[in-house]
Amino acid sequence: MGSRTKARECALQALYQLDTSGGDPREALRGVLSHFEESPSDGETARFAEELVRGVQTERAQIDHLIQESSTNWKLERMARVDRNILRLAVYELLRRGDVPVRVTLNEAIELGKKYGSEESSAFVNGVLDRIAHLDLPGAAPKKD
């Protein structure tokens, strides 16, 4: 498993924890990193996970708005927490991580859905992200693809 994949898993777990019980993003991520099986506390993994968690938290209002507008017949608060946070993580990457190709962001999110979500999670996540990925988002980082 690559360090960015590990970082996304750690970020997802921290975001899920924050969504469930609140708290300090740095503390949530520190707790996740310390309990991860393969010790992803190497600099690159921890740094990328922190960027993702901090970015999602900082831009959550805009991210949540995009998710809500792009998810047909689903209110954000009614989505499964895992799915909602996978979407938040991926939408942040689509908006601000121009260094990550769109297809990589979508594939990683789908894999997170398969690993942590329900049987329907990967299809749901794919559908919402596909809509968002095709939007012309003002202020989004230029994407390489």
Q: Give the tens place of pLDDT for each residue, 103-131.
A: 999 999 999 999 999 999 999 999 999 99
CB contact at 8 A, 88 and 65: no
Q: Give the tens place of pLDDT for each residue, 7-52.
A: 999 999 999 999 999 999 989 988 888 876 555 456 888 999 999 9
CB contact at 8 A, 42 and 3: yes
Q: 58: Cβ–Cβ under 8 A, 6 or more apart, which residues?
A: none
* Report field, pTM of the whole predicted structure over 0.85: yes
- Please state the domain extents for the chain: 1-58, 59-137
CATH number for the domain formed by residue range(s) 59-137: 1.10.940.10
Q: 9: Cβ–Cβ under 8 A, 6 or more apart, which residues?
A: 36, 112, 115
Q: 108: Cβ–Cβ under 8 A, 6 or more apart, which residues?
A: 4, 5, 8, 90
